[in-house]
Amino acid sequence: MTYCVAMKLQDGLVFVADSRTNAGVDNIATFRKLHLFRIPGERLIAIQSAGNLATSQAVVSLLRQRLDSERDNLHGVPTLYDAARLLGQTLREVLQRDAEDAPQGHGLDLSCSFLLGGQIRGAAPELFNLYPHGNFISATEDTPYFQIGESKYGKPILDRALTFATPLEEALRCALLSYDATIRSNLSVGLPLDLVVYPRDRLAQVSSHRIDEHDPYFQALRKGWGEGLRDLLAALPAAPADYWR
Amino acid sequence: MTYCVAMKLQDGLVFVADSRTNAGVDNIATFRKLHLFRIPGERLIAIQSAGNLATSQAVVSLLRQRLDSERDNLHGVPTLYDAARLLGQTLREVLQRDAEDAPQGHGLDLSCSFLLGGQIRGAAPELFNLYPHGNFISATEDTPYFQIGESKYGKPILDRALTFATPLEEALRCALLSYDATIRSNLSVGLPLDLVVYPRDRLAQVSSHRIDEHDPYFQALRKGWGEGLRDLLAALPAAPADYWR
């Protein structure tokens, strides 16, 4: 499994991805699921993936291989909408190729989902959620975040605390707490986490940051949140006695 | 969908069930999913169900119809283990009958899951989780709660805050906050909630309590929790600046 979240907010974009992949609980490995395509000063495109790792790696590899080719590529497309279309087309191409190479299918689920977001100079930041068929939807002020993969454990904190107006730093904290909930409840999502916080219109060189199990900030955040939740629970009013008559 | 949670703690048992059933988002109804079998002073057995409503209603109806019969019944079985076996057998009987009556199946999923807990005089409280095949497991000090149905949204708060030693009243609060998270994030789980808090060795008449949307305590709990979470999030330390270099 995998858990990826991305946010399109007033002040910019936030992307966080875990790095655990598993084929059964006895076959766990670490793979990066957050991929950056950058031309400093001109564009930043971040892609996150969930689902079949062979498919998502093939898609990202093809997108990277073709950066210097004549055909449409992520360094050349004029808009992020076109970048999302290119990602969808590349996904369909990989699935089609695999279906032709192994028509019997072996009952494997080769599907995967992607989030794609970023900014190209002269246009606003954008964020898209690509479904396994390669079609996609765009984040809006009403729905400023998308999740792919194991999304349920970490959704309540986002639904409670995140709005389009949430400052980037607080949104990042909210995303990290969403991961904390997910990591506690599901073994198939795990550290390290890769993250990118992108302030709107920055367009300069942007790097991803990796959080591992020794990261002092993430440790302090998890501890403060866990203790705070238990204190808050203890401070809430007791249920009336007629609740258990 | 449905969400049911049950806890076996040092001080007794807690059962909470929502009451929403749906066959598609355009076909929503309210049905009780928490069923009590009681002989005041002698036994309390609570059964919660998730899954196909026709199957779970048939199982509970048969168990109730047979209370006065010569055959094994929930008012007569000597232990809660036997009660769980009887529930599992009745589930298999209903599934078998439906398979014979409609062998073509129509592709319907008729399966369901149950939680069964309670106490019989002279023995300790027990809690069992019955799988769709009628087999079951028992709650322990290490794993003092079970969930069936739409369990993921509400699991993080239980994993954080609940232990075998948690007092009943705090455990109930924890369960209600688990519902709050689930109801916010998933339309298919909804009010009213039915709950039973059972203090160990009580065995007197025990009633269930119903929480509807106007319940002042549940409203205050949700409000206090939501505001407390947002305050807590805002008070946590900000991420270091090198997180978005």
Smallest Cα distance from B156 to chain A, Å: 6
Q: What percent of chain A lies above the pLDDT cut of 70?
A: 99
A105-154 pLDDT tens trace: 667 888 999 999 999 999 999 999 999 999 999 999 999 999 999 999 99
Q: What is the pLDDT of residue B242?
A: 84
Interface contact flag, B233 A155, Cβ < 8 Å: no
Residue A24 reports pLDDT greater than 90: no
A162 Cα to chain B: minimum distance (Å): 10
What is the per-residue pLDDT across A183-218, written as a single tens digit (0 to 9) for each?
A: 988 888 889 999 999 999 999 888 899 999 999 999
What ranges do the domains of chain B cover?
3-235
Q: Beta strands B112-120 and B136-138: pairing type?
A: unpaired
Dihedral angle at the C-alpha atoms of B217, B220, B225, B226, nearest 10 degrees? Answer: 140
The residue of chain B with its CA nearest to that of A237 is: B221
| CATH architecture, range B3-235 | 4-Layer Sandwich (3.60)
Contacts of B239 in chain A (CB under 8 A): 169, 172-173, 176, 197, 217
Is B9 part of the contact surface with chain A (CB cutoff 8 Å)?
no
CA dihedral (B230, B232, B235, B241) positive or negative: negative
Residue in chain A closest to B153 (alpha carbons) equals A153
Measure CB to CB from residue B184 to each of A156, A176, A244 and give the nearest one: A156
Round to whole Å and give the CA distance between A189 and A18.
7
Fold for A3-234, please state it: Glutamine Phosphoribosylpyrophosphate, subunit 1, domain 1 (3.60.20)
Interface contact B241, partner A, CB < 8 A: no
Among B147, B157, B160, B203, pick the best mutation site for testing chain A contact (most A Cβ within 10 A).
Answer: B160
Torsion angles phi and psi, residue A182, rounded to 5? -70, -45
| C-alpha separations of B124 from B62, B196, B198, B203 in Å | 26, 17, 12, 11
Q: How far apart are CA B131 and CA B148, in angstroms?
A: 9
Give me the residues paired with residue A149 across strands. A3
Q: What is the DSSP secondary-structure string of B144-163?
A: -EEEEES-STTHHHHHHH--
User: B222 and B184 in contact (C-beta within 8 Å)?
Assistant: no
pLDDT (0 to 100) of residue A70: 85
Does B229 sit within 8 Å of A157, measured CB to CB? yes
What is the reported pLDDT for A45?
A: 97
CB within 8 A of B175, min separation 6: which ones?
A: B5, B7, B14, B16, B158, B195
pLDDT tens sequence for chain B (245 residues):
799 999 999 999 999 999 988 777 777 788 899 999 999 999 999 999 999 999 999 999 999 999 998 889 999 999 999 999 999 999 999 999 988 888 776 678 889 999 999 999 999 999 999 999 999 999 999 999 999 999 999 999 999 899 999 999 999 999 999 999 999 888 888 899 999 999 999 998 888 999 999 999 999 999 999 999 999 999 999 999 888 76
The pLDDT value recorded for residue B189 is 85
DSSP assigned state of A145: E
CB B205, CB B40: distance < 8 Å: yes
Give alpha helix (H) positions in A102-145.
none
> With helix as H, strand as E and coil as C, how does A38-62 read?
EECCCEEEEEEEEECHHHHHHHHHH
Do residues A191 and A183 touch, judged by C-beta distance below 8 A? yes
CB atoms within 10 A of CB A82: 14
Per residue in A73-86, pLDDT tens? 999 999 999 999 99
> In Å, what is the CA distance from A159 to each residue of A101, A175, A179, B183, B229?
42, 11, 14, 11, 12
Length of chain A counted residue by residue: 245
What is the model's pLDDT at position B245?
A: 65
Residue B152's CB: how many other CB atoms inside 10 A?
A: 23
Distance (Å, whole) CA A88 – CA A165:
30
The 8-class DSSP code of residue A187 comes to T
CA distances from B187 to A3, A221, B25 (A): 22, 30, 8
Closest CA to B90 of B123, B67, B109, B120: B67
CA atoms of B146 and B3, how far apart (whole Å):
11
- pLDDT above 90: percentage of residues in chain A: 79
Sort out which chain A residues have CB atoms less than 8 A from B234's CB and list them.
170
**Three-state secondary structure call for residue B37:** strand
Q: Do B160 and A244 touch (CB under 8 A)?
A: no
ipTM of this predicted complex? Answer: 0.84
CB A130 within 8 A of CB A84: yes
Alpha-carbon distance A71 to nearest alpha carbon in chain B (angstroms): 32
The SS3 call for residue A227 is helix
pLDDT value of residue A117: 98
Amino acid at B164: F
